[in-house]
Structures are given as C-alpha cells and as structure tokens.
Amino acid sequence: MSSPIGHSLAGYLIYCTREKSVSAKHDGLLFSTAILAANMPDFDFLPGFVLGQPNLYHHGISHSIGFALIASLLMTWVVGRIRTYSFGKNFLLFFLAYCSHLFLDYFSIDTRPPMGIPVFWPLSSRYFIFFDPFLPPISHSRLLHATTTQIVRDALSLHNLYAIFLECFIMLPVFLLVFRILKKETA
C-alpha cells in the first residue's frame, strides 16, 4: 500500500497530463477531484474507524476497477452539476486517477492477508498482487482487528517516514519524465 502522499502525487501527474500543463494555474475543482479520486479507495478505512477496527474493510471492493467505474461516474456527475465540463474527458481523468491508486497498491508490498487487491471485482473476488512487489509498505498494523490507537501509532512511525521518502524517490524519475514531455509539448 502506498501512502496518501504517493497516491496524491500520482493523481497530480494524471491531472497534469490531461491539462498538458505543469503550470501553477490549475482548475481547482478538477485538480482537487483528481487528487480525491486518487485517494478514494482508501476511504474503506472509514467504516472500520467507526467500528473501532480501521483495517476491517481495507483492501476490499473499493480497490477494484468495478468500484472505480462507479466512483468515477459519480464524481463526473457531481462535478458536471457544479460546472459545465466535458463528461467524457472528466470521467477519464477521474477514472485514471482512481486506477492510479490500484496500480500503486498492486506493486506495493502487502504484509497482511489477503495479500493484494480484488482488482477485477465484481467479475472476480480473487486478490491480485505483483509477483515481486517493490514499493515500500505503509505500516497500518497487520492486524485485521487493530484498534484506532494502534493504527495511529503505526501511521506516525519512522518506518512510514522512510517508506514515504522511498516512494517519492522511486516516483521522482517518472515525474521528471512527464514534466519534461509536457514542457516540450507546450514550448
């Protein structure tokens, strides 16, 4: 599992490629919705937090392409109610941002069963993970029934700071490549 920072960076990259710009001027609504979409699969922690066991539903159906389609359609509809935008372009932006989360989690080390994510739900409930995951794991307690206190303690660990550093270091070449390509296209 990647960190919210890693997921947000991936959402930002997808937003920049759609806008074909890395400038400081952004459409705040589309930008924030793309970042939201990139982090949305991890909202499956929320029902668990309410029940006092944050991991209870983590890496469930919210980590699937089926759920990505539903969430992206809903976000596109909501954004379309606020402002007039191209439905197809926005749907693609939100869908790709959402799927970036699945992509990063697929390549992340997972130490808590079931390993991986149910990426093909509702067609299959089988969990998938890369055969040799390389992205560092974010510690949020391996226990399915971990308490909120255990989750918060793990989230603030030195291990997670190190994992976030590695995650950013690994993503840096991708950022530089995308920014270079976009700068050439706008020049």
Query: Per-residue confidence at 26, pLDDT binned at 50, 70, 90?
Result: confident
Owner of token pair 């390389």: 134
d(CA 162, CA 3): 11
pLDDT tens for 115-140 read 999 999 999 999 999 999 888 777 76
Where do the domains of the chain lie? 4-186
d(CA 53, CA 75): 28
pLDDT higher than 60, residue 142: no
pLDDT of residue 118: 97
Query: Per-residue confidence at 144, pLDDT binned at 50, 70, 90?
Result: low
Q: Which tokens is 179 given? A: 């920014």
pLDDT higher than 80, residue 143: no
* Buried-state track 118-133, b at ≥16 Cβ within 10 A, e below 16: bbebeeeeebebeeeb
Q: What average pLDDT does the chain have?
A: 86
Query: Per-residue confidence at 145, pLDDT binned at 50, 70, 90?
Result: low
pLDDT higher than 70, residue 17: yes
- 24's CB contacts (< 8 A; 6+ apart) are none
Share of the chain above pLDDT 70, in %: 91
